[in-house]
Amino acid sequence: MRRCSVLITVGVAERCRQLEGDVTAVDEPGTYEIRIHGCLSAQEALVLKEPVTRLLCPDPDHAPPCDVPWSCFTAGDDERADDGSEATVLVLGVYATARRAAQVADQVRGVVGETRPVTVSAAAAGQFEELAEQYRIERAVRQS
């Protein structure tokens, strides 16, 4: 089943349309939200946290900058529950280009499995602001 890939591609295509063909803007980093849907409980969702964390940061003691600055997960009600039952969604914030955010979402899908849809979209304004700050600080350190 490749449903997740379609959702990821749609998210990137939508972001590119929002930028209306501005190729330089597509390559500019921004804040994205990667959602992992389909967990039956908050506990099940939180079990996924460790393997996804290891995917994003295999060495927590690495020198800056992070390849992709990311933020902790939050669990909430999953508006995608098909049968009306409550489900949980994990939300992961990343600071990256649209293309890199789609790549990360694809890697996350590889970790969580094909049965859980993974979507990526631009984060709401003001959400995950700490990631942009982390990016600026770490890039300044690297350039000095």
State the 10-residue block means of pLDDT for the chain, 144 residues long.
Answer: 35 50 64 90 86 89 83 69 72 93 94 91 90 84 68
User: In the prediction, which pLDDT does 99 show?
Assistant: 92
Domains of the chain (ranges, CATH numbers): 3-143 (3.30.70.60)
Residue corresponding to tokens 């800056």: 64
CA–CA separation, 83 and 17 (whole Å): 32
User: In the prediction, which pLDDT does 26 show?
Assistant: 59
User: In the prediction, which pLDDT does 84 show?
Assistant: 63
pTM (2 d.p.): 0.75
User: In the prediction, which pLDDT does 108 show?
Assistant: 95
